[in-house]
Structure 1
C-alpha cells in the first residue's frame, strides 16, 4: 500500500512516499480503507521524536505517523460484531499504534473503541477532522467542565484546531462564550456565534473578565484562566500541567484534561456537525509527501485556522 513515512526523526521535509505491506487486523480489529486523514500537533511532536511511551512503544523505522482518519471497512475481525463490511467509519487509533500502522496511508487496522459510523451528510474530509481535535473539545465541554446552559465560559485560544470546536460546542450547549484570539480571527469567531472575542495582543482577559463558571485552556495559560474563574468554577487545560498551588486555589476545580472519548461521543459530535450546530473548518490537501510536509509546517508555524486534512480518495 502507499504510505507517507519517515526513516528518521527530523524536519517536515523528511516525509517520503513509501510502499509498505497492508496491515492485518486482529480478531478484535477492523481494516479500514482510508479516504481522508487529518494532522494534529501530536503528529508534529511524533515526527520530531518528542513523544515517549506509550506512543513510541511499538515504533521503529520506517514510521507511518497519524491517528485521525475516515474511511470504509474492508475487513472485519472475528470478534467484532457491531460493525460490518462497507460501513463508513471515522475515529482515532490507539496512542501506541505499530510503526507501519499510522493513518498516513491507504489502509489502517484499528480497534473499535474510538470508532464510529459516519452519519449521512458527513463527508470523509469532515469526518477525518473530528476525532482528536473535535473530541478533545467535546470531552472538555461535556465531561471535564460539564457545561450547562446559561453558564459563562472562556475558551483560551478560540481559533486553533481544538478551540474552534470548543467555542461552537459550548454555544450548542447553551453557554455564553468568550474567547481569546488575534484580531484577524475576530470576524470568523463572531460568525460562529461567539459572544465576545478578546484580542490577547491588546488585552489580558484577567483585566476585563470576572466570575466565569468555566475556563477551557488550549494555550497553556492557567494563571490567567484562574483569575477569570469564580471561586467555585472549573478550569480544564490541555496545554499545561497546573501547579500544586493552582490546583488548590480557593474551591476552584483545576485539572489537566486526559481525553477519553468513546464511540458514543464521536457520534454525538458528528450529529452536531450534520445538524449545523458545529461547522468544521478545514484545509484539504491531496495525498502526497509534499502535502503532509506542508501541513506540518503550517501547524508548526501556528498559522492554522481549523484542521489540516489530507484527502486520500473519493
Structure 2
C-alpha cells in the first residue's frame, strides 16, 4: 500500500512516499481502507521524536505517523462485533501504534474502543477531522468539567483546532462562553457562538472575567485561568502541568486532562455536526507527500485555523 513515511526524526522535509505491507488486524481490530485523515500537533511532535515512551519503544523506521482517520471497513477481526465489511467508520488508532500502522497510508488497523459509524450527512473528510481534536474538546466539556446549561466557561485559545470545537460544544450545552483569541478571529468565533471574545494581546481575561464556573485551557496559561474561576470552580488543561500550589488554590479544582473517549462520545460528537451545532472549518488537500509536508509546516508555524485534512480516496 502507498504510505507517506519518515526514515528518521527531523523536519517535515523527511517525509517521502513509500510502499509498505498492509497492516494485519488483530482479533479485536478492523482493517480500514482510509478515505481521509487529519493532521494534529501530536503528529508534529511524533515526527520530531519528541513524544518519548511508550511511542518510541514501539516505533521503528520506516515510520508511518497519524492517528485520525475515516474510511470503510475492509476486514473484521474474529472478536469484533458491531462492525462489518463495507461500514463507513471514523476514529483514531491506539496512541502508541506500531511503526507501519499510522493513518498516513491507504489502510490502517484499528481497535473499536474509539471507532464509530459515520452518520448520514457526514463526509469522510468531515469525519476525519473529528477524533483527536473534537474528542478532546467533547471529553473536556462532557466528562471532565461536566458543563451544565447556564454555567459560565472560559476557553483559552478558542481559534485553535481543539478550541474551535470547545467553543461550539460548550455553546451547544447551553453555557455562556468566553474565549481568548487574536482580534482577527473575533468575527469567526462570534459566528460560532462565543458570547465574549477577548483579544489576549490587549487584555488579560483575568481583568474582565470573574466568578466563572469552568476554564478549559488549550494554551498553557493556568495561572490566568485560575484567576477567572469562582472559589469552587474547576479548570482542565491540555497544554500544561499544574503546579502543586495551583492544585491547592482554595477549593478550585485544576488538573491536566487525560482524554479517554469512547465510540459513544464519537457518535455524540458527529451528531452535533450533522445537527448543525458544530460547524467544521476544514482545509482539504490531496494525498501527496508535498501536501503532508506543507501541512506540517503550516501547523508548526501556527498558521492554521480549524483542521487540515488529507483526502486519500473517494
TM-score by length of 1: 0.99
Query: SS in structure 2 opposite 1:56?
Result: helix
* SS across alignment from 2:216: strand
Cα distance between partner residues in 2 of 1:76 and 1:223: 48
Aligned to 1:15: 15
Q: Matches of 1:7 and 1:165 in 2, distance apart?
A: 34
Which residue is 1:229 aligned to? 229
2:256 counterpart of 1:276: no
Stretches of structure 1 that go unaligned for 5 or more consecutive residues are none
1:26 positional shift: 1.2
1:118 and 2:134 aligned: no
CA distance in 1, matches of 2:19, 2:199: 46
Q: 1:300 aligns to what?
A: 300
Q: Give the C-alpha shift of residue 27 in structure 1.
A: 1.1
Q: Does 1:249 align with 2:238?
A: no
SS of structure 2 residue aligned to 1:162: helix
Q: Distance in 2 between matches of 1:217 and 1:81?
A: 37
Number of the residue aligned with 1:264: 264
Q: Distance in 2 between matches of 1:173 and 1:56?
A: 38
Instruction: Provide the C-alpha distance between the structure 2 equivalents of 1:10 and 1:221, rounded to a whole number of angstroms.
Output: 28
Q: How far, CA to CA, are the matches of 2:273 and 2:152 in structure 1? A: 23
Residue matched to 1:72: 72
Q: Distance in 1 between matches of 2:170 and 2:249?
A: 25
* 1:81 shift after superposition: 1.4
How many Å apart are 1:54 and its aligned residue? 1.8
Name the counterpart of 1:171: 171
User: What is the deviation of 1:55?
Assistant: 2.0
The TM-score, its normalising length taken from structure 2, stands at 0.99
CA RMSD of aligned residues (A): 0.5
Mapped to 1, the partners of 2:57 and 2:35 lie a distance apart of 27
Aligned partners of 2:97, 2:211: CA distance in 1, in Å? 43
Structure 2 Cα separation of the partners of residues 26 and 56 of structure 1: 21
User: SS where residue 159 of structure 2 aligns?
Assistant: coil
- What is the distance in 1 between the residues matched to 2:55 and 2:177? 34
Shift of the alpha carbon at 1:121? 0.3
Question: In the alignment, is residue 96 of structure 1 matched against residue 92 of structure 2?
Answer: no
Q: Work out the CA distance in 1 between the residues paired with 2:81 and 2:161.
A: 33
Question: Unaligned stretches of 5+ in structure 2?
Answer: none
Q: Alpha-carbon deviations, 1:157-190, whole Å to 9, x = none?
A: 0000000000000000000000000011000000
Summarize deviations over 1:237-269 as a string: whole Å, max 9, x none: 000000000000000010000000000000000
**Matched residue, 2:129:** 129
State the aligned residue count: 314
1:296 to partner: Cα distance: 0.5
**Which residue in the other structure is 1:203 paired with?**
203
